[in-house]
Chains A and B, each alone.
Chain A
Amino acid sequence: MACPKTKDLIEAYGDGELDLGSSLEIERHLAGCEACAAVLERHRALRSALAGASLHYDVPPRLAARVRSAVRKEAKGRATGWLPSWRWAAVAASVAPLAILTWALVALSKTPSPGDLLNQEIVSAHLRSLMGNHLMDFPSSDQHTVKPAFAGRIDFSPDVRGLSGVGFTLIGGRLDYLDGRPVAALVYGRRKHVINLFIWPSAGGEGARGVETSLRGYNLLRWSRAGMLYSAVSDLNAPELRELRKAFEE
């Protein structure tokens, strides 16, 4: 049985519909309550089954033409001051620039995609970590010290690797908060550069190629592997960041 108090909120939490405060409360509760964690897992299993089953009906090819002609007929019937057809060319010519302008304005004011927002969040988390002494909750160059430090503080176990063999020095770990949930942050150093590698479980994926971008002068890589999302961010150049990714994919 799930707890009466949280039961109703767990699905809303799983749907990403709770505010930050309630989400944090639920997360704290989930960390210590197996029954509720099981309810959430079941909720996610059903959602991913539905999402993965392609239950969407496709529009029959003939429908678009049918709708368009019904719409035009209706619009014409409701025309006020409908123009005679010989003036169409003039109207079209005067409308086209306006349409283009409108389209451009709409395109420019387009709200950022969830991926863009996440990228901004990741860079902000990286910048925050570089301010003052926020870089590490548990400084250690030993993966066997860093990994257990996450246990009990987040609801998954991140893959922590010491990568000095390939030129990345593990310098510690930290808890952070991204994409509406607590995430593990591993901190690596290369020369004078600091790299934050964020790891958290994901329902979806990034696709095989992942995401590579740069934002405010920082390079950012996101990829997914075995149900987890990885995001590396640094002022280090992109090819070297890819080496870090490669090391994690081996």
Chain B
Amino acid sequence: MDPTELERFERTLLPHMSAAYNLARWLTRSDQDAEDVVQEAYVRAVRFFGGFRGGNSKAWFLTIVRNTGYSWLERSRGEELTTAFDANLHDVEDAGPGPELELLRRATRQELFAALESLPVEFREALVLRELEGLSYKEIADVSGLPIGTVMSRLARARQRLRQILTDRGSKED
């Protein structure tokens, strides 16, 4: 990579370090792993950068971070990915608006944090990309290599489960 290209690389991709670290940290759930994933993603990005034709650099780079994060998980703890997909998530009836809404509004940061952290990795990823990084459905589809319809249903299920965790916890306390 020549100096102008390196300069272009740094100018284009270094600003996404915060998003990259956040995604990696939520995927791996470990400070040290997240740092390693981010570093590895940047190194991979140097190799692929020639193929980047401009456009949405954040989504482009998060795709690499995401894939790096997944191979990291596979390598270091194979169990994580196999338990993730839940055929068993029961379709809860939509509860009435009253108490559930109240519980959602009252949820503390720690509760939200723990609830998000306990979700299977695919759900965590979808919610982090959408609610923390503000990606559109299309961008999430690009990053995770899924059709938009799957992104929509994954987000819906992730939110459903999150609400379930928060309101279960809340109603136990009452």
Contacts and interface: CB of A to CB of B under 8 A. Distances in A.
Interface of A: 1-2, 8, 11-12, 15, 17, 35, 38-39, 41-43, 45-47, 49-51, 53-60, 63-64, 66-68, 70-72, 74-76, 78-83, 88, 91-92, 95, 98-99, 103
Contacts of B94: 1-2, 35, 38-39
Contacts of B2: 79-83
Interface residues of B, number: 51
Contact of A95 (B7, B155, B156): B7
A43 B162 CA distance: 11
B21 A59 contact: yes
B97 A63 contact: no
Interface of B: 1-7, 9-11, 14, 17-18, 21-22, 25-26, 31, 34-35, 38-39, 42-43, 46-47, 93-94, 96-97, 100-101, 104-105, 107, 109, 112-113, 116, 127, 130-132, 136-137, 152, 155-156, 159, 162-163
A42 B100 contact: yes
B137 A17 contact: yes
A99 B5 CA distance: 11
Contacts of A41: 97, 101
B132 to A, nearest CB: 6
Given A46-B159, A57-B26, A71-B42, A12 B31 contact: no
A55 B25 contact: no
22 contacts: A2-B94, A8-B152, A11-B156, A17-B136, A38-B97, A41-B101, A42-B104, A45-B105, A46-B159, A53-B113, A57-B21, A63-B35, A63-B38, A64-B14, A64-B17, A68-B14, A70-B43, A71-B6, A71-B9, A71-B10, A71-B46, A74-B47
A216 B28 CA distance: 50
A81 B43 CA distance: 20
A161 B81 CA distance: 58
A78 B47 contact: yes
Interface of B, helix, strand, loop or mixed by DSSP: helix
B18 A59 contact: yes
Contacts of B21: 57-60, 63
